[in-house]
Amino acid sequence: MNGLIYSIVFGPMAAAILCYLTGRFDKTVRCRFADLVTGITFGLSVCLFLLTPSSGASGASLLPYRNYIAEIPYVCGMGLHFTADGFRALYGMIASFMWFMSTLFSREYFTHYRNRNRYYLFLLLTLGATEGVFLSADFYTTFIFFEIMSFTSYVWVAQDERQESLRAAATYLAVAVIGGLVMLMGIFLLYDVTGTLFFDELTGAYFTYGLLSSESTDTAQLMIAGLCLLFGFGAKAGAFPLHIWLPKAHPVAPAPASALLSGILTKAGMYGILILTAYLFLGNMAWAALILFLGVCTMVIGAVLALFSVDLKRTLACSSVSQIGFILVGVGMSGLLAAASVTLGSQSADNLTAIRGSLLHMVNHSLIKLVLFMAAGVIFMNVHKLNLNEIRGFGHGKPLLLFIFLMGALGIGGVPLWNGYISKTLIHESILAYTERLMASSTILSGSAQYLSAGTMKAVEWLFLISGGLTVAYMTKLYVAIFVEKNADAAVQAEFDALKGRYMNKVSAFALTLSALLLPLMGFLPHLVTDRIADAGQGFLQTYGSAGVSEEIAYFSPENLKGAAISLAIGAAVYLVIVRLWMIKDGRYVNRWYRYLDLEDYIYRPILLRALPFVFGVLCRICDSLADTVVVVLRKTLYRDSKLPQELPEGTPLTHAAACVASCFQWFGNRTWRRKKPKTTDYDHRFAMFHEEWSENSAMISRSMSFGLLLFCVGLLVTVGYLFVMDIF
């Protein structure tokens, strides 16, 4: 088991270097080698999933997963720890499958790209880092691979090296770095209180180390630690208000990379939020309410942004924000239902319904966005444009592409018989179940949940249904623009029609078709396929307060179909009224979004680049003036200045002494061999200028990032060498 985990995590990283070196000599061999590596990683992940004890209907692992932890000691002092349970092995398998499919598609997509070697290098490095996140057993290991994943995936966004790509990459990196630093602070605070970072040892930590602790500060410190960790994980997941990188990064990143950024890397952030909710803050109603609030905001805002977008990949990126909101709503509901069960002293399977809905929507969204972004990549690699007005009518006469895109659109729209409907139904069921509890037990829950009334939950339900309707509306907008309408330019439409079966090769068609076929399979056979996926993963998420047995949901009952029907009706109304009547003007799609609502350009960047530097600059000037005043007072009182020799007009005593020596040689030469052509060089000034130039260059070098990184590397090597020597002796 250990060797299998190490191969999945570190195998792609080692292969990345070989892939890069191979690409220096033969690009075709490089591409096939990358396909082979991702394919082998997928095969190993399948083996790990089959060998891992999964959680059955009981909701508990057959064996405690700490029994098969893979450990690499002494790494950065605390060591790295990996493990595998049903959820981890499941998502490791999904990640490797998506990498395999996107790598197959990359071969054709990157035919006309530069720097393909660099792309494949970081593609495989990110695969290993992502697997390391999902298979981690403690927060420290998660953080290490989380940061590796953030830095290696940065190259994807900047791949084109265009101005907009570099700006989006800078936004992505800034969010990742700030989120990582805040997350690290949370890890420090958490370890200070609990003395451990292992997930299973942190189960119920808020009550064990917080409320039940003799130290009153432990509760506040644990909550601060949780909020710091939530900030870091939420930034990667794309949760509001840290979602700003998704709409900027996806339109400029290559389509295969966008599929992975949206489908998998956001789930790495959700992985951390799941751990916080199901382990650290298990049964904490305030925490669950916070997650629910963030989920509702993210769900609605992402759907609205997607509806207003007229760029294909930006629409899909905003859609990812909205779907992350759906998942967060499910996670929040699982926490609320668990806390309510503890408060009421009852046992129920409602918590499992929310857990299974969250887990399945993570899986569904990953697979759906793999299909949709690769379909968008097919359009872009033929047209090299993404604006709906310019790609309008591209899908005419392309039945395979129509089928692939339609599978993704129906899946994400929550249409019955497709996979998205199953997970959304479970989350909707959990909202209804909690609302019924509030209505039936309002007096018991009023003390701990007075801010979550039955009316509030009704509002949450309607926002859930409306967001589902907006999803249907913007996916209908994309489908109609690409496959139903014709391009306004007849010559462009003729070029689209002439492509017919030549718009993608057989390898790309295989990757897209296989991925698309999974979506209706999971929706048509929910009890045979989808429920078993949920069974495999639910043991990772705590079922505290639940009976441990999930009731079989009648997915296609009139009550559940009613919720989907409401969303579909809302979607149809929004499309006909808002999209057709307001967003289309003179036959063209118009961007109606008010530009001043851009959080990055009008809030975050002004604060980080102008407001904060100004405020801290003023504070530093004030402190500098106060320090100068104190120094002057001290020199005039306690530390009186002694009489110093007259200061030199320029240079230093050393340059002045050197100038005196040089002047003596000059005087002697002028009196002897240079009497006819004497020199009159001012060595005092010359040496002073040389010293000033040398000082400026030294200061520039010492302040540069490269010099700092060089010193960091030297210090790191010295430290590692010292630890190695001490370990030997």
Identify the residue with better confidence: 497 or 635: 497
How, if at all, do strands 80-82 and 70-72 pair?
A: antiparallel
Across the range 210-218, mean pLDDT stands at 57
Q: How many other CB atoms sit within 10 Å of the CB of residue 573?
A: 13
Q: Based on the domain organization, do 383 and 482 belong to the same domain? A: yes
Q: Based on the domain organization, do 158 and 204 belong to the same domain? A: yes
CA-CA distances (angstroms) from residue 167 to 170, 319, 724? 5, 21, 41
Residue 721 in tokens = 């060498």
Backbone angles phi, psi at 198, to 5 degrees: -70, 135
* CA-atom Rg of the chain in angstroms: 31
Decide: 239 and 301 in contact? Cβ < 8 Å.
no
Query: Is residue 662 in some structural domain?
Result: no
Q: Based on the domain organization, do 96 and 233 belong to the same domain? A: yes
Average pLDDT, the chain: 81
Q: Which of 214-228, 479-493, 607-621, 693-707 has the lowest mean pLDDT?
A: 693-707
How, if at all, do strands 584-585 and 588-589 pair?
A: antiparallel
Query: How would residue 724 be classed by pLDDT, with cut points 50, 70 and 90?
Result: low
pLDDT digits (tens, 9 = 90+) for 612-664: 888 888 888 888 888 878 877 777 777 665 544 555 667 777 887 888 888 88
Q: Based on the domain organization, do 348 and 229 belong to the same domain? A: yes
Query: How would residue 673 be classed by pLDDT, with cut points 50, 70 and 90?
Result: confident
Query: How would residue 27 be classed by pLDDT, with cut points 50, 70 and 90?
Result: confident
Residues across the chain: 729
Decide: 234 and 242 in contact? Cβ < 8 Å.
yes
Query: Is residue 716 in some structural domain?
Result: no
Residue 27 exposure: Cα atoms within 13 Å on the Cβ side: 13
Q: Based on the domain organization, do 528 and 630 belong to the same domain? A: no
Across the range 198-218, mean pLDDT stands at 69
d(CA 404, CA 374): 9
The SS3 assignment for 81 reads strand
Q: Which residues contact 379 (CB under 8 A, 6 or more apart)?
A: 312, 386, 391, 394, 482
- Whether residue 349 is predicted with pLDDT greater than 90 in this model: the reply is no
Query: Is residue 657 in some structural domain?
Result: no
pTM > 0.95: yes or no: no
Query: Is residue 705 in some structural domain?
Result: no
Query: Is residue 599 in some structural domain?
Result: yes
- Whether residue 81 is predicted with pLDDT greater than 60 in this model: the reply is yes
- Whether residue 51 is predicted with pLDDT greater than 60 in this model: the reply is yes
Q: Based on the domain organization, do 30 and 50 belong to the same domain? A: yes
Across the range 491-520, mean pLDDT stands at 86
Q: Which of 34-38, 271-275, 284-288 has the lowest mean pLDDT?
A: 284-288
Residue whose structure tokens are 């118009």: 590
Across the range 333-342, mean pLDDT stands at 76
Q: Based on the domain organization, do 199 and 61 belong to the same domain? A: yes
Residue whose structure tokens are 């997941």: 237
Query: Is residue 280 in some structural domain?
Result: yes
Res 512: pLDDT: 92
Res 100: pLDDT: 92
- Whether residue 410 is predicted with pLDDT greater than 90 in this model: the reply is yes
Decide: 411 and 418 in contact? Cβ < 8 Å.
yes
DSSP string, 470-511: HHHHHHHHHHIIIIIS--SSHHHHHHHHHHGGGSS-HHHHHH
pLDDT digits (tens, 9 = 90+) for 531-569: 888 877 777 765 544 444 455 677 888 888 888 899 899
Query: Is residue 673 in some structural domain?
Result: no
- Whether residue 678 is predicted with pLDDT greater than 70 in this model: the reply is yes
Q: Percent of the chain scored above 90 by pLDDT?
A: 16
Decide: 108 and 32 in contact? Cβ < 8 Å.
no
DSSP category for residue 138: B
Res 716: pLDDT: 66
**Helix residue spans in 210-254 (DSSP H):** 216-237, 245-252
Q: Which residues share a beta bridge with 589? A: 584
Identify the residue with better confidence: 638 or 172: 172
Q: Which of 274, 358, 365, 273 is nearest to 317 (CA)?
A: 365
- Whether residue 176 is predicted with pLDDT greater than 90 in this model: the reply is no
- Whether residue 703 is predicted with pLDDT greater than 80 in this model: the reply is no
562, 593, 624 - which closes a domain: 593
Query: Is residue 52 in some structural domain?
Result: yes
Across the range 350-373, mean pLDDT stands at 87
Q: Based on the domain organization, do 523 and 634 belong to the same domain? A: no
Q: How many other CB atoms sit within 10 Å of the CB of residue 449?
A: 24
Across the range 592-598, mean pLDDT stands at 73
Query: Do you find a cis peptide bond into 251, omega within 30 degrees of 0?
Result: no
- Whether residue 169 is predicted with pLDDT greater than 90 in this model: the reply is no
Structural domain span for residue 46: 2-593
- Tally of domains within the chain: 2
Query: How would residue 86 be classed by pLDDT, with cut points 50, 70 and 90?
Result: confident
Across the range 678-688, mean pLDDT stands at 80
Res 644: pLDDT: 47
Query: How would residue 220 be classed by pLDDT, with cut points 50, 70 and 90?
Result: confident
3-state SS record for 345-410: CCCECHHHHHHHHHHHHHHHHHHHHHHHHHHHHHHHHHHCCCEHHHHCCCCCCCHHHHHHHHHHHH
Q: Based on the domain organization, do 535 and 600 belong to the same domain? A: no
Q: Based on the domain organization, do 543 and 598 belong to the same domain? A: no
Q: Which residues share a beta bridge with 80? A: 72
Res 545: pLDDT: 42
Res 647: pLDDT: 57
- Whether residue 301 is predicted with pLDDT greater than 60 in this model: the reply is yes
Q: Based on the domain organization, do 480 and 618 belong to the same domain? A: no
- Whether residue 288 is predicted with pLDDT greater than 90 in this model: the reply is no
d(CA 375, CA 256): 10
Res 449: pLDDT: 47
Res 62: pLDDT: 35
Q: Based on the domain organization, do 36 and 61 belong to the same domain? A: yes
